[in-house]
Amino acid sequence: MYILSPSILAADFKELGKEIQTVDKAGAQYIHIDVMDGEFVPSISLGMPVISSVRGTTKKVFDVHLMVDRPERYIQEFVKCGADIITVHAEACTHLDRVIQQIHDAGARAGVALNPATSLTALDYVLDKVDMVLIMTVNPGFGGQKYIPSCTDKIKKLRHIIEDRGLAVDIEVDGGINKDTVHTVLSAGANVIVAGSAVFGEGADEKVREFLEIMSGYGKIQK
């Protein structure tokens, strides 16, 4: 299925609960939550107290993206806060296989993120163990960046690998996604779309509906 995961990094933090409810009611299936530690990426963003405080505002899937060094230190805590999916960066994990198992053992779905310059070979021995792969289509750390065109071929290659191996793995994309670039990533094989500044702001409900209408034209990913 095609899924929209609005990134609350672009929301109005003064009205965060209301902003989440707006995109929820408009039909977004996931809520994307970026956690940044100031080490793995330059910025510092949302942590466990914020996630806990907004968990009660929606029943939608909390899609938590950990842009942090040694994420294995925090897996259990993020699940307790309400994370349904936890995505860790391959570049941030010394023992990636172990972290994936840790996420599953905690009761969450596991995702692995790859930065734009990271090869798909990083997934060679874990792809059959993950629920989702997040292809970063900008360098992580800041919102509002432009889509990196070379990532399109990376998405295509990953989709071919997943299909050739007969796996039920989602491909999520994050970075520079708007109503123009979303066609590019959907055509390449992505099925979970993260959008921040292209959704939040004035008319967020209408923007969600516009994204969902575009995505509906691509049918369903066969698994």
CATH number of 3-216: 3.20.20.70
Residue 95 burial by Cβ neighbours in a 10 Å radius (0-12, 13-18, 19+): exposed
- Which residues have C-beta within 8 Å of that of residue 56, sequence separation ≥ 6? none
170 is in an annotated binding site: no
Encoded tokens for 134 = 């997040």
Radius of gyration, alpha carbons of the chain: 16
Q: Is 95 annotated in some ligand binding site?
A: no
Phi, psi (deg, nearest 5) at residue 72 = -60, -20
89 annotated ligand binder:
no
Q: Give residue 223's pLDDT.
A: 34
Residue 133: per-residue pLDDT: 99
pLDDT for res 222: 39
Domain boundaries, the chain: 3-216
Give me the pLDDT at residue 220, please: 58
166 is annotated as contributing to ligand binding: no
pLDDT of the chain along its 223 residues, tens only? 899 999 999 999 999 999 999 999 999 999 999 999 989 998 888 889 999 999 999 999 999 999 999 999 999 999 999 999 999 999 999 999 999 999 999 999 999 999 999 999 999 999 999 999 999 999 987 767 899 999 999 999 999 999 999 999 999 999 999 999 999 999 999 999 999 999 999 999 999 999 999 999 987 543 3
SS3 191: coil
For the annotated catalytic residues, the residue numbers are 34, 174
Q: What confidence score (pLDDT) does residue 96 get?
A: 98
